[in-house]
Structure 1
Amino acid sequence: MAALNNRNLKADAEAIFRAGLQAVDPEVCVRRHLRLDGNRLVVGETAYALDRIGKIVVVGVGKASTTMARAAEAVLGERIAKGLVITKYGHGVPLAHCQVLEAAHPVPDENGVTATRALLDRVAGTGPDDLVLCLISGGGSALSPAPAAGIRLADKQATTRLLLACGATIHEINTVRKHLSRIKGGQLCRRANGAAVAALILSDVIGDNLDIIASGSTAPDPGTFGDCRAILDRYGLWDRIPGPVKTRLEAGCNGKIPETPKPGDPIFARVHNQIVGNISAALGAAEKVARSRGFTPLVLASTIQGEASEVARVLCAIAREVTLSGHPVAPPACLLAGGETTVTLKGTGLGGRNTELALAAAMELDGARSTLLLSAGTDGTDGPTDAAGAFADGSTLRRAKALGLKPAACLADNDSYHCFASLGDLLITGPTRTNVMDLQIVLIAA
């Protein structure tokens, strides 16, 4: 991509994005909240007397679980009696005291079922004198499938695919997931047999809701079977979900199956949850680097959600206002946003929410001479692709058409990936082994 207005905005945007990533490095985040203080282990704001702990068991789920575990091993070393973490294929790192198992994301697979069974066995082997240290990050929902009685893995896979394709939010998807599981929605704590449970959590959801991150394995669940029915009705999925799922949810709505554990349940009496990193931390670091590179930064929101293409239109409208009037900030400016958009699948192409947002932005920015947008996932994976996201500017449409591409048709077919791949404007990071949702960076040169 050519320099815009004598600035290489593409390089600036990537540097700002990577600063955000560095701020939520899982090892750094864990080490801030896990330390030894004499004969005490301090986890977040809770201290445990080591001479009163029988054994320490470490378990983890999520895209960042192995790097979080590496930090825990650096602190605890041989004090770890047993350890097991589950992460996405290709995201593992060598560990000395914790077994690493890999599984599929975002649709669960049999390896995930086997790995989750092993994790539950580790926790079930604890008792009142022990401590279970849980390392939880985004992606944990798909990576820890433990189908409830009467539910097959195939049923969960089909339900997950339907929810992902309809544009449901992660809050809605995880509400349903919790009620089809034996581990989610606080149910991991039922397996701890009265052991103390301390969870360090890297948030990938808007609002840092403990019950939503990785479907809240260590948190009370305010959701109900009735909420699940309402979500599926809202998206017209009730008559499309597998029969066993419908049967279970109907039984739950009729009070024939126990609900997930709610706030106040005694199983949470010795459970402590601590957020160690989130999108706000990433935005704060991005803001500092943007300023150091000569831009006036403005954080618009850390709670962006909605259809990716609609969010793109709003961000580009603000960018146009900056160019035209100098409001709400004068150029050179950096608009920053974070959150998680959705895509309602209507085509058969390849892409994710970030490349879709970028391609929609390209439509809005066509001809703009001084504006660039980068939308990218902090986990390094945008939907089912190997890209984190993509860059778009005022030349994107022109260059695409010169290659014989039809950007509008690509957008309609949800085929944003191939469009940006042809242009060389994908951001490829590889696995970042962290996950705090997505960052949108809009640069407007002077």
Structure 2
Amino acid sequence: MGRYEVLRQHAIEIFYAGLRAVDPNDAIQRHVSCEGTILHVGSQQYDLDAFRHIYVVGGGKAGASMASAVENLLGERVTQGWVNVKYEHLAPTRTIHIHEAGHPVPDEAGVRGTQEIVHLLETATEQDLVICLISGGGSALLPAPVAGITLQQKQAVTKLLLHCGATINEINTIRKHISAIKGGQLARVAAPATLVTLILSDVIGDPLDTIASGPTVPDSQTFTDCLNILNKYEIEAQIPMPVLQRLQQGAQGEIADTPKAGDPIFRNVQNLIIASNVLAARAAEEKARALHYNPMLLSTFVEGETREVAKVHAAILKEILHSGHPLTAPACIISGGETTVSIQGDGLGGRNQEFVLAAAREIEGLSNVVILSAGTDGTDGPTDAAGAIADGDTVQRAQEKSLDPLAFLKNNDSYHFFEALGDLIKTGPTNTNVMDLRILLAG
């Protein structure tokens, strides 16, 4: 690491401060409390003595930790529960069953787990309380293909959308319209029970109907929106025919759309966001200030093609060094959100690692700069790394090892590039998920 060791360590400390701020257990404790028989959820109250049963269901990478927190809060009042989580994203529970399944591409385990959730909620009555736990990854972890569409066809659609560079909002729009529970349809299954959904947001701007494809939220998207997305990315011809036919029939009014605002199924539903990317980013900002940097939270709405976003971030670092704008050194720029990668090669990596690799080329030779980008869920793409870190000497060190940064970038092989340099950020499963954090330091 040499001369960048202190900056690198500070970048890592700032990232972990953001991570700690969105711990699911702490998030639930901030927003949910129980005083005697009264359950406080945000600004609303529920008399637990009014309910015969309390069921806990859900899906997402933070599901196990959220379930554990709810059990700690309600104890033996929880009647039964089932939560789908990504493989190895576990936490101890007593009554609530934690079920492991596939992410980002749904698998048969996810389908079985979702069926169990549906079967449980179908028994709920108006005398029951359902607590639904939703976090990032919930779309893939709660697969319930509609009749006539197979899991394999849904997998193919998911992979196609991921590879073409579609945003999470666009991916979830289509997921909702080939699912039996997404887009508010899980609320229909749970009705007439009282339904409270606690949400960790992994979507830019925190739109409730997009997070995990909004299983308990009125859906603002339509079948026509789905067709427009396929046309935008010119992938209509690659979509499995049963899926395409369903979307076309829905757009023509032959199939009922997902439930919209005003539907009576949402009368007894409360949806509450308990943690988001902005919370993590603000905590990172405070940590940077404590480490004596001049911090700036650039934006938590950052999206777009990863390589282009990396160029812009690198340009900000250059401006700080050149003119002292928008901050004077020592400076820390923080941004959040979620970029996309249009995959051209056959390498291994993720959007955070690719961001850092692209940025490393832009800051080559600069003194006293470090860039870190990592996912708060601890998983970047199909890898065991959360992200990566680079400095002004990264390209030179790579060349000394006969590694060509541009070649790795073209092959979308950022993982093996940073693995060879020892610059991967590995947190292991964090049991939370509020998108990504990028930390830029100018010492």
Q: Deviations over 1:41-62 (max 9, x none)?
A: 1122211112211111001210
Q: Which residue does the alignment assign to 1:130?
A: 128
Give the conservation status (yes or no) of the 8 Å contact 1:31–1:72: no
Matching residue within 57, 60, 67 for 1:59: 57
Quote the Cα distance in structure 1 between the aligned partners of 2:407 and 2:49: 65
Q: Deviations over 1:198-235 (max 9, x none)?
A: 01100000010000100000100010000000001100
Q: Deviations over 1:118-156 (max 9, x none)?
A: 011111110111110011100000001000111100010
- C-alpha displacement of 1:3: 2.5
Written as runs of structure 1 = structure 2, the 5 A alignment for 1:22-421 is: 22-421=20-419
Quote the Cα distance in structure 1 between the aligned partners of 2:365 and 2:229: 41
Q: Which residue does the alignment assign to 2:2?
A: 2
Letter in 1 for 2:428: G
Letter in 2 for 1:269: R
Give the conservation status (yes or no) of the 8 Å contact 1:300–1:335: yes
1:386 alignment partner, SS class: coil
Quote the Cα distance in structure 1 between the aligned partners of 2:191 and 2:422: 54
Q: Deviations over 1:397-428 (max 9, x none)?
A: 11111111111011011011100000000000
Quote the Cα distance in structure 1 between the aligned partners of 2:191 and 2:329: 58
Give the conservation status (yes or no) of the 8 Å contact 1:2–1:8: no
Where do 5+ consecutive residues of structure 1 fail to align? none
Q: Which residue does the alignment assign to 1:18?
A: 16
Letter in 2 for 1:3: R
Quote the Cα distance in structure 2 between the aligned partners of 1:78 and 1:106: 33
Matching residue within 415, 431, 438 for 1:440: 438
Quote the Cα distance in structure 1 between the aligned partners of 2:96 and 2:52: 18
Q: Deviations over 1:79-101 (max 9, x none)?
A: 00111111000101221110010
Quote the Cα distance in structure 1 between the aligned partners of 2:431 and 2:48: 30
- C-alpha displacement of 1:25: 0.2
- C-alpha displacement of 1:391: 0.5
Letter in 1 for 2:136: G
Per the normalisation by structure 2, the TM-score is 0.99
Q: Deviations over 1:236-287 (max 9, x none)?
A: 1101011110111111111111100001111001000000000111011101
Quote the Cα distance in structure 2 between the aligned partners of 1:114 and 1:363: 45
Letter in 1 for 2:36: G
2:205 alignment partner, SS class: helix
- C-alpha displacement of 1:193: 3.0
Quote the Cα distance in structure 2 between the aligned partners of 1:438 and 1:154: 29
Quote the Cα distance in structure 2 between the aligned partners of 1:193 and 1:393: 54
Quote the Cα distance in structure 2 between the aligned partners of 1:50 and 1:392: 52
Instruction: Give percent identity, aligned residues only.
Output: 54
Quote the Cα distance in structure 2 between the aligned partners of 1:388 and 1:130: 39
Letter in 1 for 2:358: A
Quote the Cα distance in structure 2 between the aligned partners of 1:228 and 1:27: 36
Quote the Cα distance in structure 2 between the aligned partners of 1:2 and 1:240: 50
Quote the Cα distance in structure 2 between the aligned partners of 1:3 and 1:128: 64
Quote the Cα distance in structure 2 between the aligned partners of 1:305 and 1:210: 18
- C-alpha displacement of 1:39: 2.1
- C-alpha displacement of 1:297: 0.4
Q: Deviations over 1:9-48 (max 9, x none)?
A: 1110000000000000000001112211222111222111
Paired residues, what number? 443
Per the normalisation by structure 1, the TM-score is 0.98
Letter in 2 for 1:132: V
Quote the Cα distance in structure 1 between the aligned partners of 2:3 and 2:379: 26
Q: Deviations over 1:378-405 (max 9, x none)?
A: 0000000000000011111111111111
2:236 alignment partner, SS class: coil
Q: Which moved more, 1:135-144 or 1:34-43?
A: 34-43
Give the conservation status (yes or no) of the 8 Å contact 1:189–1:197: yes
Q: Deviations over 1:359-388 (max 9, x none)?
A: 000010000111000000000000000000
Give the conservation status (yes or no) of the 8 Å contact 1:77–1:97: no
Give the conservation status (yes or no) of the 8 Å contact 1:56–1:80: yes
Letter in 2 for 1:398: Q
Quote the Cα distance in structure 2 between the aligned partners of 1:165 and 1:106: 12
Quote the Cα distance in structure 2 between the aligned partners of 1:341 and 1:335: 17
